[in-house]
Amino acid sequence: MKLAFSTLGVPGLPVPDVLALAAAHGYHGVELRAHPEEPVHPGLSPADRAEVAARFRDAGVEVLGVAGYARVAAPGEDAPVLAELRDLLRLAHDLGAPFVRVFPGADPDRPREESDAIAARRLGTAAEDASALGVRILLETHDSHRTGADAIRILGPVGHRQVGALWDVMHTWLGGEQPSDSHAALAPHLGYVQVKDVASAEDTTPLPLGAGVLPLTECVDVLSRHHWDGWLCWEYEKRWYESAAPLPELLDGGREHLLRMLNEVS
């Protein structure tokens, strides 16, 4: 498996500094948070996109994915959501990233079946753009659809190879789903896996990997037993928790913990 980290852990850090961290601490890739407050976002000019892509190539680091904030099950018209998805897909294509992350974001007061159908319709439409650009849209296990069982209600009806799943291990755990069940639901659609650690369901302040309660070993074990050879991306949510320790000083320990788990289950 390849290891990456998300720029959510180093909010606002310039791309050259992000690449220096990845290279210095032995990470193969970086997930780029695509928000206007970050250096990389859909508003970048073609020249700026080309420069970012060249910097990654020169550093020998991969752009794992573009982490967008489109909410595919949200109420409202399809057009704005589809426009946001297409902007993210074009950005990923220009950067050479294989994946775009999206959220479900369903209205809790709307019937579940209706929200599922809205999301499936939008993703099915955007899948054609994704196919043309060679990028895959990944629905993250998050918010209204935090388990694999939730996500599959959307992904199953879409049935397109360019639409898949991003397994956020914290959200499936918060949803009460066992790693083996999450994997069984998501495996046919799995793009990559986000790992993290927290103290409890009530305190989700990010911790160093292995210092909290999330079932990371069980997740890595089930992936290894099924011969999955994709990406593990450490999503350290420093952006939302100012009191959390800085990510750069934790990167070595996080890599070592992931490699130790991989060695133990291999």
- Predicted TM-score (pTM) of this structure: 0.97
Per-residue model confidence as pLDDT tens digits over 59-90: 999 999 999 999 999 999 999 999 999 999 99
Domain boundaries of the chain, sorted by first residue:
2-265
CATH number of the 2-265 domain: 3.20.20.150
H or E stretch covering 225: helix 216-225
Q: What angle is formed at CA 151 by the lines to CA 149 and CA 153, rounded to 5 degrees?
A: 75
Kindly report the length of the chain.
266
Per-residue model confidence as pLDDT tens digits over 177-214: 999 999 999 999 999 999 999 999 999 999 999 999 99
Closest of 224, 160, 218 to residue 189, by C-alpha: 160
Per-residue model confidence as pLDDT tens digits over 207-245: 999 999 999 999 999 999 999 999 999 999 999 999 999
CB-based contact 248:236 (threshold 8 Å) = no
